[in-house]
Amino acid sequence: MPLLGWNSVLLMSTVAANTTMRNRVSYDQLIDETMTIVRSCTTPHAAADAFLLAGECEEFFQRSLVNDLPVVLISQSKSTAFEVSTLGKYSHTQHPVTQSFRKLGQFVVVASTLPLLRLLLQRTKTSGWGKFEGLHILIDRKTVERGCVNARGFLWTAWQYDRLAAIFLCVDSAEGIVLYTYNPYSSTAPAVWRNVGQFRGRGGHPWTLLRMKYHGGSRTCEGLTFDKTKDLNGYEVRMNAIEFEPHLRIDSTKTGLQRFSGDNGEILKIVFEKLNASVRVRVYNGTVYDLGGIDSHGSMVGMMADLATGEVDMGMNARSLHNTWKIEHTYPHGDGGFCVITRRAGELSEFVKILSFLSPSVHVVIGVLFTIALLVLAKHQGFLRSSVNIVRFMTFGSIHRLPRRSSFRIFFSSMFVLHVIFNSLIQGHLASLLTIPVSLPNIRTAENLKRSGYQIYGSMFHERELQDPELRSRFHVDTYHGCKQRVLESGRAACLDDCLHQYARIQNDSVLHRSRKIQQNLLVYVTKENWPLLASVTQIVHRTVEAGIATLWKEASTRKMYRARKRRWTNRKRKFRNLEIRHVLFSFYMLATGLFVATVTFAVEMIVAQR
């Protein structure tokens, strides 16, 4: 084997040869075994044929260990954060950078000092290659001299950079190659790992250092990586929350997670009970607009800022899916939507109702008939008398002196019969109509809203989420209370927000009306970037949704509201059956008008008769 000869030359010519004589294991052997791990212990998500090499890694190239693998190199000295190196038989044409630009799942980071390790971890994070869940193999460049003293320091640094799957490889003078890892949550680990110490971790939570002798051969990958998030053993997850009816209710008289109810809260209660985590919640007092997002200057504000800075791990309020930088989110677990509230258009006035009882054609027919009758009678009786007779017809007054000629009498009687029919029709309609209030059309759909030309108000974060360009062009930013106030003050304003929240908001408000869904949104929980628990939380949320529990909680939290609506509806329906005075008021006006016209007619007749 030509490789063996090259190795022996290296062995003789380097300082490593001297150290081998003192220790049973050389640094070269250590990196050989590192490559064995990289090649054989790929996690299912990782790309098996590529890895990322960072730091003081000259030996990897000297020993031609990476000849056949595409490697992304991150050096400690160069100002460019990384360079792509496709060595050996892979050429650039076979592996164009764009194609291999994907998140790598395996990292080998070699550093001789802690500051250098931090620099390298930071660079892998910002380079775009960094898949923080990937397996990180950390190596102390001076391990042959120092042994394993840096195990805790290196692994603690990895934890500071949220690299949960990290392994520290070192050379122990007694045992040979040794692996270290850590579990920041509990001391649970496969049996091959030995607990070698517990330290104070984040928030005083025990941080366990684990150690295993490297076996090699068929046992190389045994228990190397394991799910550390299975049991969090009371590890504290930091969240923020704000009351958001009906999705998240906060009862300040209770303590712990029991304070929170509503579907958002119940789902997370299940998640964190399953993970056995404890939860600290930063509760905000303000309005739901404090949920926050990206402001006009492009910076994170509100409760979202807590996540962007990493002060909080996760938001307890579900939000609509809207990708932003610095923030990650769980798998969508439901759907919500935007609705607008507008002023109720009110009811049709009684006068308009009476005019619209009969179709316009019937009105025309009546008019034509009366005109003909008037003309016919005028020929016989003179205009004044016949018009008085026509008024009598219309007001149902008694008939004063019928025409003497029988042909006119027959005409007159037939008109009278016709009028009786019309009148009964009108009376019948009147009775039915007065018991039914007819409401004018409200803004119900997105189409209505577009056609109406109403101005739309809401939080500045809604503007970004509103998809329809026309609606967006009519959008104005306002405060939470200002938004509703605009609607109360103007008949041409609409206030945009989450559908169920809008419903809860106007429950007891009879002047406002809520539309149907204007836009559908997917609901997610937002988390901070590179949160090691994201995968586990997402998985449990997903399972909760699949089991139908999420839907169940959502129904439970809205049931109360819908029940109240049903009660109000039945009350309103009951009210319709008892006719109120205001419903029949118009008929009194009509009666008064009729009496007035009759009085005037009578007076005129008296005067006419006296002459």
- Kindly state the smallest distance separating residue 207's Cβ from ligand NAG, in Å: 15
The dihedral built from the CA positions of residue 247, 533, 45 and 51, taken in this order, carries a sign that is: positive
Q: What is the CA radius of gyration of the chain?
A: 41
Least distance from ligand NAG to the Cβ atom of residue 289, Å: 15
Alpha carbon distance, N-terminus to C-terminus of the chain: 144
Least gap, CB of 146 to ligand NAG (angstroms)? 14
Which of 15, 191, 421, 609 forms a contact with ligand NAG (CB under 6 A)?
Answer: 15
For ligand NAG, which residue of 75, 127, 276, 455 counts as binding (CB under 6 A)? 276
HSE, CB side, 13 Å, CA atoms: give it for residue 299: 6
40 alpha carbon, distance to own chain's centre: 41
- How many residues touch ligand NAG under the rule CB under 6 A: the total is 7
Q: Which of 32, 231, 463, 529 binds ligand NAG (CB under 6 A)?
A: 231
What are the φ/ψ torsions at residue 581 (nearest 5 degrees)? -60, -35
Query: Contacting ligand NAG (CB under 6 A), which of 1, 4, 12, 18?
Result: 18
Q: How far is the CB of 21 from ligand NAG (least distance, A)?
A: 7
Q: What angle do CA 588, 399, 407 make, to 5 degrees?
A: 140
Q: Does residue 4 belong to the site contacting ligand NAG (CB under 6 A)?
A: no
**Interacting span for ligand NAG (CB under 6 A) from 231-239, 361-369, 473-481, 547-555:** 231-239
Choice from 106, 181, 208, 233 touching ligand NAG (CB under 6 A): 233
Measured between alpha carbons, how far is 11 from 241 in angstroms, rounded to an integer?
A: 61
* Shortest spacing between CB 173 and ligand NAG, in angstroms: 14
The one among 77, 218, 253, 285 contacting ligand NAG by CB under 6 A: 285
Give the binding range for ligand NAG (CB under 6 A) out of 228-236, 352-360, 528-536, 601-609: 228-236
Task: Choose between 233 and 515: whose C-beta lies nearer to ligand NAG.
Answer: 233
Coil vs helix vs strand at 544: helix
> Nearer to ligand NAG by C-beta: 13 or 99?
13
| Residue 368 CB contacts under 8 Å (≥ 6 apart), including other chains | none
Residue 258 tokens, joined:
């029991």
* Residue of 436, 532, 574 lying closest to 237 (CA atoms): 532
Give the nearest distance from C-beta 345 to ligand NAG in angstroms: 38
366 three-class SS: helix
**DSSP β-ladder status, 300-301 and 293-294:** antiparallel
Please report how close the Cβ of residue 43 comes to ligand NAG at its closest, in angstroms.
25
CA 417 vs CA 7, 195, 545: distances in Å: 122, 107, 71
Out of 88, 115, 234, 491, the residue judged to bind ligand NAG by CB under 6 A: 234
Burial of 225 (0-12, 13-18, 19+ CB in 10 A): middle
Dihedral of the alpha carbons of 22, 24, 27, 29, in degrees to the nearest 10: 150
The secondary structure element, H or E, covering residue 383 is helix 383-395
Nearer to ligand NAG, 34 or 233 (CB): 233
Region of 6-14, 169-177, 226-234, 405-413 interacting with ligand NAG (CB under 6 A): 226-234
Q: Does 287 bind ligand NAG (CB under 6 A)?
A: no
Which is closer to ligand NAG, CB of 18 or CB of 510? 18
CB-wise, 19 or 455, nearer to ligand NAG? Answer: 19
Residue whose C-beta lies closest to ligand NAG: 234
Tokens representing 100?
């291999």
Task: Give CA–CA dist 532/535, Å, rounded.
Answer: 7
**Shortest distance, position 278 Cβ to ligand NAG, whole Å:** 6
Q: In the structure encoding, which two tokens stand for residue 413, read together?
A: 């009687």
Task: Tell me which residues touch ligand NAG (CB under 6 A).
Answer: 15, 18, 231, 233-234, 276, 285
